[in-house]
Structure 1
Amino acid sequence: MFDARVRAVLGPTNTGKTHLAITRLLAHSSGIIGFPLRLLARENYDRMVAAKGERYVALITGEEKIVPPEAKWFACTVEAMPLDRRVEFLAVDEIQLCADPDRGHVFTDRLLNARGMVETMFLGAETIRPLLQRLVPQAEIETRPRLSQLTHSGPQKLTRLPPRSAVVAFSAAEVYAIAEAIRRRRGGCAVVMGRLSPRTRNAQVALYQNREVDFLVATDAIGMGLNMDVDHVAFAALQKFDGHKPRQLTAQEAAQIAGRAGRGMRDGTFGVTGDCPPLPEEIVDKIEKHNFEALQTLAWRNSDLDFSNVEALLDSLAAPAPQPGLAKGHDATDHITLSMLARDAEIRGLAATRGRVRLLWEACQIPDFRKLSDDSHAAVCSRVFRHIAEDGVLPDEWVLSQIALCGSTEGDLDTLMARLANIRVWSYVAARSDWVKDAANVQGEARKAEDA
């Protein structure tokens, strides 16, 4: 019996890595590929359906699950990969995100533990090579050069940006303000953000790809590999809020975004626009030469969890990293929520069996898309756990009433963005068909609210 092959295909943007992985995936009789964004999972699901047909292709993200009975090939977000399925091929995209202090532990777990029976492939930036070689010594590593040239073109006014430009901003308010300015002065543009529903996002992408408009305004979601016909990328800012604090973009992050310019053999350019300060020469040089410092540590969290009781679960989550090159990242929202709920005597009383402790952990893993910095998210997780622990299922009327609250389209931009974040929480809950009685109806109502 031969050993399963493990490959790492590394290199900058526009090297054909994802295309190679999808080709290999569909060449096997079964496979799973994990992407960093649900927009990417959806985009590649559509490609896989075009090649193999809806009957055999599945999509699994936190908020959306399409799993036909005969599904053989799965496009997923990295967090949602169904690792209990045995498949011939398994791949993870943007594997350098192992170093991300918030989500990196999930990618690192896949790097260390997720394998296809015949072939495993990790795709990402060259910066992860030394650590990948050390942590996965059996991996064959292939470096791919960029297919086209990427050149800095300096600052340009919004009114002077060339057609087929993407302007990148780092907040919904900035995105919509820039989009409105371009519409007034240049005639029209499309908007792409991670918060948009799949259907709204597809409509916006089609608007741009079909050349009905020549300009695109996007958040840095575009940097994770959305395939758009972009010739020029213009940064509207060089600072982002990373969930904890505002900070400057790293050179590697800037390169991921700038690298969306020039697809295939077509060259691309990048620069800044609006009030954005010039890109530092050092960063420009790194982007043009694809030369970045190697990663020093990857984020890690224990995945061998102890569900014997709540204290044991918390202790296992706090376990130290087992070897050099791995380090604990930020405490994730699920861990913080569990710590909060563990202080509730009633919750601890309900979580009296291994199965109930596991259920509590699953409830704590409901994503906090709203990020309100209060205890409202923990309250939702607590109520979900209590209902299922006591009644076996969530009351449809409660879930539907929460979804209905998200259906209003009134209010300012901040209100609408909060509504989109909230409906994503309830779309996640609705996608758990084991949590709701009439799953199809609840999921349909969630889709309607998201598309409103």
Structure 2
Amino acid sequence: MSQEVLSEYNSLRKLSDMRFPSEWFPEARQMQRKIYLHVGPTNSGKTYRAIQRLQSAESGIYCGPLRLLAHEIYDKMNQQGIQCNLLTGEERREVSPTAPLTSSTVEMANLAKPLEVAVLDEIQMISDPHRGWAWTQALLGLKAKEIHLCGEQSAVPLIKKLCESLGEQVIVNEYERLTPVALSSSSLNGNWKNVRKGDCVVAFSRNSIFDIKKKIEKETGLQCAVAYGGLPPESRSQQAKIFNDPTSPVKVLVASDAVGMGLNLNIKRVVFSTVQKFDGREFRYMHIPQLKQIAGRAGRFGTTYASGEVTTFFNKDLAYVDKCLESPIIPLELAGLQPTVDIVEVFALQMPNETYSSVLQKFEDLASLNGNYFLCNFKDQKRIAEVIESIKLPLRDRYQFVTAPVSTRNEETLNAVQEMAKIHSNNKVLELPELVQLPNSQMVDVGSLSYLETAHKKIMLYMWLR
């Protein structure tokens, strides 16, 4: 290796050094923040306690994993007469420029504003391979006197290690479940006739959900609501509302694993139609924490039911659910990181002739991290970078497009981001009706629903990039 090549290599290694991410936020390091960690199972009141503290704060922010949750806190605060603004990637609602509180999705958390209280919900997602960086960034960078972290007990050792490296003490508050939940002694024996009012049947694909809904309604005469990840948050919320309403004819919910987070549901019994799901390559058993979280939705405190049940459609799956419910907590080991636009920009300047996707690949190959962190998966970013590679854009604009919430498994949304990048590059204006043409006729079949879901994804992407 020549001296010139070695020098370039060492320079790139230095620029991709991410071993000390706490140093990215010097103003937060100058504060003596108090960190409170509220942990416990689903339905233990941990988030409720943190929100209570936020309500009494002179200034504060709620950071959640879903737009649905950000909306819920925004509505709750304003209904109680506490002014609260809303900030998500797709939407900004300003009740007042002087509102003391903001409810946001975690990626949109304002790290520049000094605050009294910050609530960071679902802290265990700090280890998520795709989005974990946003929780890490918020934990390291929020300029709040008090930070309340809410989530699963599995996060305790990792959060303690991270805060120890910051020189900040963590006060851990542990919570017990408010209502009991138990595994049923028998399954539905493979018969949808055994579905009862108050059941939530869990499946893992849209086609399965609608197929099960159709069978339940035919076999039992009970009407079903549906909830799954591809359904817009507003529609999921509406479906939850009609299921929860005791005067509604809808008595059963058929849902995907999206039911595990973000909806308050009046569920008596959770029924797993299967305990295996397709991960993009093969069918695998559900991860234990995920199954526990979904099972914990049964018999929530404050709903109609004082206790909850969990069962399966087939007898053969009961043993796996039992094993998961009885399994010990698996501690998280690493927190996600993602380079800031400033870091990527300086790194890219060393390779002016490389494509942006190649820059990302080299950064991923060379990045140095310490033992508490991992680099969040660049796979989706590299895919988007390839799609817009030929379009002339400043690096910072390219970074915005590449980090946009694009479903890379959907070719239509990839085409949409490419079209928007071209319009932006040519300094033109793209009106929403040019991007999405909605049909006039009422849509009822699953194929039409797929079209509408994709249209919604495009609209959300358009709003995020505005």
Same fold (TM over 0.5): yes
1:243 to partner: Cα distance: 5.1
Deviation at 1:332, TM superposition (A): 4.4
Superposition RMSD on alpha carbons, in Å? Answer: 2.8
Q: 1:358 aligns with which of 396, 413, 416?
A: 396
User: Given residue 239 of structure 1, which amino acid in structure 2 is its aligned partner?
Assistant: Q
The answer on whether the counterparts of 2:44 and 2:178 sit within 8 Å (CA) in structure 1 is yes
CA distance change for structure 1 residues 430 and 262 in 2, over 3 Å: closer, same or farther? same
Paired residue type of 1:192: A
2:307 to 267, 270, 273: 267
* In 2: Cα distance, 1:363 partner to 1:145 partner: 43
Native 8 Å contact 1:128 1:294 kept in 2: yes
Counterpart in the other structure of 1:404: 437
Report matched runs for 1:53-92 at 5 Å. Answer: 56-70=83-97, 71-92=99-120
How far the C-alpha of 1:415 sits from its partner, in A, is: 4.3
CA displacement 1:138-157 (0-9 Å, x = unmatched): 22222211112121004124
Map of 1:427-442 to 2, 5 A cutoff? 427-432=460-465, 435=466
Which shifted more, 310-319 or 39-48? 310-319
Corresponding pairs, count: 413
Matched, 1:150 2:187: no
CA distance in 1, matches of 2:273, 2:440: 31
Alpha-carbon spacing, 1:377–1:263, altered in 2? closer, same or farther (3 Å): closer
- Amino acid paired to 1:175: I
* TM-score of the two chains, using structure 2 as the length reference: 0.80
State the shift of 1:10 in Å: 1.1
* Residues 431 and 99 (structure 1), Cα distance of their counterparts in 2 relative to 1, 3 Å cut: closer
Separation in 2, partners of 1:72, 1:243: 43
Aligned counterparts of 2:279 and 2:113: Cα–Cα separation in 1: 33
1:34-433 map, 5 Å = 34-52=63-81, 56-70=83-97, 71-111=99-139, 113-137=140-164, 138-153=169-184, 154-156=186-188, 157-184=191-218, 185-211=220-246, 212=248, 213-242=250-279, 245-264=282-301, 266-273=306-313, 275=314, 277-281=316-320, 283-287=321-325, 289=326, 291-303=328-340, 305-308=343-346, 310=348, 314=360, 320-342=367-389, 344=390, 347=391, 350-351=392-393, 356-369=394-407, 371-372=409-410, 374=411, 377-391=413-427, 394-396=429-431, 399-405=432-438, 410=443, 412-432=445-465
Measured after TM superposition, the shift of residue 262 of structure 1 is 1.5
Point out the structure with max Rg over C-alpha.
Answer: 2
Equivalents in 1 of 2:283, 2:130: separation in Å? 15
Distance 1:414 1:98 in 2: 36
Change (3 A) 1:414 1:325: farther
User: What SS does the corresponding residue of 2:149 show, helix, strand or coil?
Assistant: strand
Q: Per-residue deviation at 1:329?
A: 3.8
Q: 1:5 aligns with which of 22, 25, 34?
A: 34
AA aligned to 2:310 is F
Contact 1:15 1:147 (8 Å CA) reproduced: yes
8 Å CA contact retained: 1:32, 1:74: yes
* Residue 420 of structure 1, CA deviation: 0.9
Q: How far, CA to CA, are the matches of 2:255 and 2:163 in structure 1?
A: 35
Q: Which moved more, 1:239-248 or 1:84-93?
A: 239-248
Q: Distance in 2 between matches of 1:170 and 1:299?
A: 26
Q: Hey, what's the Cα distance between the residues in 2 that align with 1:210 and 1:410? A: 25
Report the Cα offset of residue 322 of structure 1. Answer: 2.1
> Quick check: 298-307 or 252-261, which moved more?
298-307
* Identity within the alignment, %: 26
Cα pair distance change 1:292/1:307, threshold 3 Å: same
TM-score by length of 1: 0.82
Determine if the alignment matches structure 1 residue 28 to structure 2 residue 52: no
| Whole-angstrom CA distance in 2 between matches of 1:84 and 1:419 | 38
Alpha-carbon offset, residue 76 of structure 1: 2.2
**More deviation, 124-133/239-248:** 239-248
Structure 2: distance between partners of 1:227 and 1:94: 15
Range that drifts further, 23-32 or 241-250: 241-250
Cα contact 2:271–2:312 (8 A) shared by 1: yes
Gaps in structure 1 of 5+ consecutive residues: 436-452
Letter in 2 for 1:16: G
Pair 1:17-2:46 in alignment: yes
Instruction: Determine the structure 2 residue equivalent to 1:443.
Output: none
Are the counterparts in 1 of residues 41 and 153 from structure 2 also a CA contact under 8 Å? Answer: yes
C-alpha change, 1:246 and 1:209, in structure 2 (3 Å) is: same
> Contact conserved, 1:237 with 1:276, CA < 8 A, in 2?
no
- For residues 289-334 of structure 1, give each alpha carbon's deviation from its aligned partner in whole angstroms, at most 9, with x where no partner exists: 5732212333333336332474567355665352113223432423
Which shifted more, 4-13 or 189-198? 189-198
1:225 deviates by 4.2
2-structure distance, mates of 1:238, 1:62: 33
For residues 291 and 120 of structure 1, what CA distance do their matches in structure 2 show?
27
Give the SS at the match of 2:134. helix
For residues 106-141 of structure 1, the C-alpha deviation after alignment (integer angstroms, 9 at most, x for no partner) is 223333x23242211111111121111111222222
SS in 2 for 1:279: helix
Shift of 1:368: 1.9
Query: Greater shift after overlay, 78-87 or 224-233?
Result: 78-87
Deviation at 1:2, TM superposition (A): 7.7
Q: Residues of 2 paired with 1:203 and 1:406: CA distance?
A: 22
- The residue type equivalent to 1:267 in the other structure is S
In structure 2, relative to structure 1, the CA distance for the partners of 1:48 and 1:421 (3 Å cut) is farther
Shift of 1:13: 0.7
Structure 2 distance, partners of 1:292, 1:426, is 39
Gaps of 5+ in 2: 1-29, 351-358
Inter-CA distance 215–62: structure 2 relative to 1 (3 Å threshold): same
Distance (Å, rounded) in 1 between the aligned partners of 2:215 and 2:280:
27
